[in-house]
Amino acid sequence: MAFYSQDDSADDYLFKIVLIGDSAVGKSNLLARFARDEFYPNSKSTIGVEFQTQKIEIKGKEVKAQIWDTAGQERFRAVTSAYYRGAVGALLVYDISRRQTFDSIGRWLNELHTHSDMNVVSILVGNKSDLKDGREVSTDEGKSLAESEGLFFMETSALDSSNVTAAFETVVKEIYNILSRKVM
């Protein structure tokens, strides 16, 4: 099982993590906030980097998270199997102000399980938590879906930065923990 890839230095780990979820839920902005502390108020779904590598230190070791963005492929339901290949982590993102994006999570989970290992460490992310007046999905609904599917859960806001780093780091740390249990 290709659970991780080891870089040139023996102490370096590189984890591929994929962002998935419907168009306009904020995937590209979550990545922009996490990796560059930037936010784009009117971003277009086609704009975005293919992937971005971010260093995270865990227990004195440097871990590189290579985070992949769909860059608009999802609009055509055409996220390729190459996108998922080798992924060890996933953020399944919906928009708390659009119920339809929450209803799509089941389909994204199926797709993830079809194209990747069952052991992909996944977190359900309810983004746009700043849109309090427009909320269509309660925190409890998110929580209980995550519990029933065995996912971590967090509500985030790429706009006000809330929980963005925490969401990515939860996945990276769990991958690291699983890995260190396996090799040590």
The residue ranges that bind Mg ion (CB under 5 A) are 27-28, 48
Nearest approach in angstroms of CB 36 to ligand GDP is: 13
Measured between alpha carbons, how far is 125 from 167 in angstroms, rounded to an integer? 8
Q: Which of the listed partners (Mg ion, ligand GDP, none) does 41 bind, with a CB threshold of 5 to 8 Å by partner kind?
A: ligand GDP
Q: Which of the listed partners (ligand GDP, Mg ion, none) does 104 bind, with a CB threshold of 5 to 8 Å by partner kind?
A: none
Q: Write the single-letter amino acid at 33.
A: R
Chain residue at closest Cβ approach to ligand GDP: 26
Measured between alpha carbons, how far is 153 from 22 in angstroms, rounded to an integer? 17
Measured between alpha carbons, how far is 33 from 16 in angstroms, rounded to an integer? 18
Could you tell me the two tokens for 27? 């995937």
**Sites of contact with ligand GDP (CB under 6 A):** 23-29, 40-43, 45, 48, 127-128, 130-131, 157-159
- The residue among 63 and 69 lying less far from Mg ion, judged by its C-beta, is 69
CB neighbours of residue 130 within 10 Å? 16
Measuring CA to CA, how many Å separate 112 from each of 10, 79, 105, 177? 30, 10, 10, 21
Q: Which of the listed partners (ligand GDP, Mg ion, none) does 127 bind, with a CB threshold of 5 to 8 Å by partner kind?
A: ligand GDP
Chain residue at closest Cβ approach to Mg ion: 28
Nearest approach in angstroms of CB 87 to ligand GDP is: 17
- The residue among 24 and 35 lying less far from ligand GDP, judged by its C-beta, is 24
Q: Which of the listed partners (ligand GDP, Mg ion, none) does 40 bind, with a CB threshold of 5 to 8 Å by partner kind?
A: ligand GDP
User: Up-side HSE of residue 72: CA atoms within 13 Å toward CB?
Assistant: 7
